[in-house]
Amino acid sequence: MPYNTPYNPMKISFYFKYSQTSAKKNQGFGSIYYYLMLGNRKTKEKSTAISCHINEWDAYNKQFIGKDAVSRNLKIKQISDILEQNKLIKEVLNEPFTGDELIEMTTVSERFKKTFLTVLQEYIDEQFYKIRKPKMTKSQANIEESTWRTYQKRQKNIVEFLKNTKKTGIPVADFDARMCELLDNYLTQTGRGQAYATKHVKLVKTVMTFAKSNKLIKVNFAETYKIKPEPKRTVKTLRQEDYDKLEKIRPLLSNTELKYLDVLLFMRETFMHVGDYLETTSENITKYDNGQVWIIKPRVKRIEENNQIQVIPLSETALKIIEKYGSIEQMPHTKQTTINRYIKQACAKADIKLNVSSKCGRSSGISLKYNFGGMRESSIAAIAGWTSTRELVNYLEIDMVQLHNEFLGERA
């Protein structure tokens, strides 16, 4: 039965509650909930929609500690202030009310108060606690640290867009399909490609789904926006004549350029991604009694349940490169951008008019073996570390002359 509170002082209690998801619960994650006591009557519990680790909550002082404590404690204070404000309004109007009604009033106030940028920050904060720790099995319940940092970069670009359109204060409920289209157009018209823009729009749609699941909005109007199809990517490969040009200008290359040319050749010979090359050690190299030498190792970005393993027979060229440096650990190792820079410099000196990168080593090795080596797609997939041949389309450049000759030869 409703009752007034001049005779029933109100007490607000915040507390930590473990997540109902087993994976999160086992890692110590959960959310902060609260309830009211009006006299001797206790309300139903209500989530603040703030996720955290149990070590970030001071149960004695009922406040956050550690990372983002200031902003999170401000959120707690805002909820308390709104509850007190709603209680005061009811008392001034002399209207009967219950604690559950106060909480419902607060929920409505919070829902319409939150901006899209606030919810975006809350989503990214929650993802921080899903970062996979070393030696932790990869699963849908966790993400790589690089993924979280990518979210931060996209957040920065979305903030830039909202500032440019003077919509930084847009409520989360108002971020609809039209806003998604504006963001999409903004990113593509400022010199970024469609694939780049699409990734930002997908983040927005994910955040809006997050908002709905946390009951911050009743309807997700952004979900009606149709993602624009990405243009087909052109596979960049170096042909054999390009490698011949690079060999001819070796005397003109600096010592550093020569080192990273060796890296390019090694990735061509092994079909390796630069990330996998940088992680390969002598422990991954096996020599058999018949003289064969193999690299057998998991992919860096492996999905463990799919068992992405590279099984690479080392060619004479690859072995000579390793022997030149003494071991694979002593081969040039640095970040991918540096490798790309020196490869570009070497190709420019060879008058190769192609925007090359370390990926060209992998793609050209695959294309050369497919077009001229007669290698089966399944064998290429095994060496490249794919679970199927579907990925081949992203690395293979069909040689039209070879295709022409093969086709006419078969018909004849």
Provide CB contacts within 8 A for 323, sequence distance 6+.
Answer: none
Domains with residue ranges and CATH for the chain: 10-113 (no CATH), 115-231 (1.10.150), 240-411 (1.10.443.10)
| pLDDT for the residue 214 | 86
**C-alpha torsion sign, points 24, 27, 32, 35:** positive
| pLDDT for the residue 218 | 80
How is residue 265 written in tokens?
Answer: 């050749």
pLDDT band for position 6 (50/70/90)?
very low
Per residue in 304-338, pLDDT (tens digit) is: 434 578 889 999 999 999 999 999 999 999 988 89
pTM here is: 0.52
| pLDDT for the residue 93 | 64
Answer yes or no: is pLDDT of 107 > 70.
no
From the centroid of its chain, how far is CA 108? 33
- Greater confidence (237 vs 333) lies with 333
For the chain, percent of residues with pLDDT exceeding 70: 88
Answer yes or no: is pLDDT of 411 > 50.
no
The number of beta carbons lying within 10 Å of the beta carbon of residue 238 is 25
| pLDDT for the residue 327 | 95
pLDDT band for position 391 (50/70/90)?
confident
* Mean pLDDT confidence for 276-296: 91
* Mean pLDDT confidence for 70-95: 79
Q: 121: burial class by Cβ within 10 Å (0-12, 13-18, 19+)?
A: middle
**CA–CA distance, 121 with 105 (Å, rounded to integer):** 24
Per residue in 173-202, pLDDT (tens digit) is: 889 999 999 999 999 987 778 888 999 999
Answer yes or no: is pLDDT of 1 > 60.
no
**CA–CA distance, 396 with 366 (Å, rounded to integer):** 6
Top mean pLDDT of 137-146, 277-286, 369-378, 387-396 is at 277-286
Per residue in 36-51, pLDDT (tens digit) is: 998 888 999 998 888 8
Q: Which of 189-193, 213-217, 229-233, 388-392 shows the lowest per-residue confidence on average (mean pLDDT)?
A: 229-233
* Mean pLDDT confidence for 4-32: 82
* Mean pLDDT confidence for 154-173: 90
Answer yes or no: is pLDDT of 109 > 80.
no
Using DSSP bridges, classify how beta strands 41-42 and 29-38 pair: parallel, antiparallel or unpaired.
antiparallel
Backbone angles phi, psi at 318, to 5 degrees: -65, -40
* Mean pLDDT confidence for 367-392: 84
| pLDDT for the residue 407 | 64
* Mean pLDDT confidence for 366-392: 85
Q: Which of 118-132, 209-223, 228-242, 313-327 shows the lowest per-residue confidence on average (mean pLDDT)?
A: 228-242
* Mean pLDDT confidence for 377-406: 78
Answer yes or no: is pLDDT of 267 > 60.
yes
pLDDT band for position 410 (50/70/90)?
low
Scored b (16 or more CB within 10 A) or e, 349-388 reads ebebeeebbbbbbbbbbbbbbbbeeeeeeeebbbbbbbee
Answer yes or no: is pLDDT of 262 > 90.
yes
| pLDDT for the residue 350 | 94
pLDDT band for position 339 (50/70/90)?
very high
Helix (H, G, I), strand (E, B) or coil at 16: strand
pLDDT band for position 17 (50/70/90)?
very high
